A and B are shown apart, each in its own frame.
Chain A
Amino acid sequence: MTSVAEQTGQAGSGEEPAGAVDDPIRPPAPDDPFTKDVLPSPKGAQLTLLKSLLTPHTRRVWVATVLLLVQQAAVQAGPLLVAYAIDRAIPALRDGRHGPLILLACVYLGCALASGLLQRAFIRVAARVSQDVLIDLRGRIFRHAQALSLDFHERYTSGRLIARATSDVESLRELLTEGMEELLGVVLSSVYISVILLWLDWKLGLAALFSCAPLYLMIRSFQKRSMVVYRKRSTAIAAVIVKFTETMNGIRPVQAFRREKPNEADFAELNGTHERINGDAILEMARYVVGSRLMANAAISGIVVWGAYRVAGGGLALGVLAAFVLYLRRLYDPIDRLGMFLNSYQSAAASLEKIAGLLAQRPSVPEPEEPRELPGRGGELPGREVLFDGVRFAYRTGGEILPVFDLRIPAGQTVAVVGATGAGKSTLAKLLARFYDPTDGRITLDGVPLRELALPELRRGVVMVTQEAFLFSGTVAENIAIGRPDAGREEVERAAKAIGAHDFISALPDGYDTDVRKRGGRISAGQRQLVAFARALLADPAVLILDEATSSLDVPGERAVQHAMDTVLRGRTAVIIAHRLSTVEIADRVLVMEGGRIVEDGAPAELIADHGRFADLHEAWRDSLV
Chain B
Amino acid sequence: MVARIVESMPEATSDPAPPGPRSAVRSLLRLWPYVRPIRGRLAGSAVAAVLASSMALLIPLVLKWMVDGPVADHDPSGVWLGGGVLLLLGLLEAGLFGLRRWLVARPLASVEASMRSALYGHLQRLPVAFHDRWASGQLLSRATMDLQILRMFLAFPLVFLVVNGAAIVLGFAILFSQAWTLGLVLLLPIVPLVILCSVFEARYSLAARSAQDQAGDLATVVEESVLGVRIIKAFGRHRSQTEAFRAKAHGLRSTELHKATLLADIWALIMTLPEVAIGAALILGIMQVSDGELSAGTLVAFLTTALALRWPVESLGFLLAISNESATAADRFFEAIDAAEADAAGLGAEPAGALDGVRFEDVRFRYPDAPENTPDLLHGIDLHIRPGETMALVGATGCGKTTLTALIPRLHDATGGRITLDGADIALLSRERLRELVAVAFEEPTLFSATVRENVAMGAGPGGADEAAVLRALETAQCDFVARLPHGLDTQVGEQGLSLSGGQRQRLALARAVVGSPAFLVLDDPLSALDVHTEALVEAALREVLAETTALVVAHRPSTVMLADRVALMSEGRITAVGTHHELLTDSAEYRHLMSGDGERSVAR
Contact = CB atoms under 8 A, between A and B. Distances in A.
A579 B446 contact: no
B66 interface: yes
Contacts of A625: 558-559, 596
A250 B70 contact: no
Contacts of A49: none
B250 A135 contact: yes
Nearest to B287: A93
Nearest to B236: A459
A318 B132 contact: no
B503 interface: yes
Contact of A120 (B82, B253, B264, B290): B264
B125 A312 contact: no
Nearest to B458: A257
Interface in B88-130: 89-91, 93-95, 97-98, 101-102, 104-106, 108-110, 112-113, 116-117, 120-121, 123-125, 128
Contact of A256 (B224, B265, B409): B409
Interface in A1-55: 3, 6-7, 9-28, 35
Contact of B260 (A27, A123, A309): A123
In this complex, the interface size class of chain A, counting residues with CB under 8 Å from chain B, is 35 or more
B134 to A, nearest CB: 9
B528 interface: yes
B98 A158 contact: no
A445 B312 CA distance: 71
B71 A312 contact: yes
B530 A12 contact: yes
B535 A624 contact: yes
Contact of B245 (A139, A433, A464, A548): A139
A252 B442 contact: yes
Contacts of A12: 501-506, 528-530
Interface stretch (A58-66, A214-222, A238-246): A238-246
A468 B230 contact: yes
Contact of B83 (A109, A117, A119, A302): A302
Interface in A243-279: 244-260, 262-264, 267-268, 271-272, 274-276, 278-279
B594 A556 contact: yes
25 contacts: A12-B502, A20-B499, A116-B272, A120-B265, A124-B260, A127-B264, A131-B253, A134-B253, A145-B225, A167-B145, A170-B145, A255-B409, A255-B435, A264-B121, A286-B101, A286-B105, A290-B95, A297-B86, A308-B79, A318-B67, A420-B533, A520-B374, A525-B444, A552-B528, A556-B593
A421 interface: yes
A251 B71 contact: no
Most buried by A among B148, B230, B442, B505: B230
A479 to B, nearest CB: 9
A112 B528 contact: no
In this complex, the interface size class of chain B, counting residues with CB under 8 Å from chain A, is 35 or more
Most buried by B among A258, A325, A548: A258
Interface in B199-250: 215, 218-220, 222-238, 240-242, 245-246, 249-250
Contacts of A147: 238
B128 A162 contact: no
A146 B594 contact: no
A70 interface: no
A297 B94 CA distance: 8
Interface SS of chain B: helix
Given A158-B495, A259-B458, A290-B97, A554 B556 contact: yes
A142 B225 contact: yes
B481 A7 contact: yes
Nearest to A311: B71
A287 B101 CA distance: 9
B398 A312 contact: no
B348 interface: no
A426 B502 CA distance: 11
B545 to A, nearest CB: 18
A113 B225 CA distance: 49
Contacts of A433: 234
Contacts of A286: 98, 101-102, 105
A90 interface: yes
Interface string A142-160: 1101110010011001110
Task: Please name the 5 residue pairs, one residue from A and one from B, whose CB atoms are nearest each other, closest first.
Answer: A12-B502, A12-B529, A297-B90, A14-B502, A127-B260
A127 B253 CA distance: 10
Nearest to A292: B94
A135 B253 contact: yes
B47 interface: no
Contacts of B162: none
Nearest to A481: B240
A64 to B, nearest CB: 12
A225 B304 CA distance: 37
Interface string A274-312: 111011001101110110011011101110110011011
Contacts of B484: 3, 6-7, 25
Interface string B570-605: 000000000000000100000001111100010011
A378 B91 CA distance: 88
A481 to B, nearest CB: 9
Contact of A518 (B11, B272, B436): B11
B443 interface: yes
Contacts of B59: 329
Contacts of B67: 308, 311, 318, 321-322
A465 interface: yes
A467 interface: yes
Nearest to A272: B113
A608 to B, nearest CB: 15
B290 A312 contact: no
A105 interface: yes
A472 B531 CA distance: 29
B435 A579 contact: no
Interface in A547-578: 548, 551-559
A405 interface: no
A535 interface: yes
Nearest to A625: B558
A247 B534 CA distance: 31
Nearest to B366: A520
Contacts of A109: 276, 279
A381 interface: no
B352 interface: no
B557 interface: yes
Contact of A166 (B140, B444, B497): B140
B593 A520 contact: no
Contacts of A520: 367, 369-371, 374
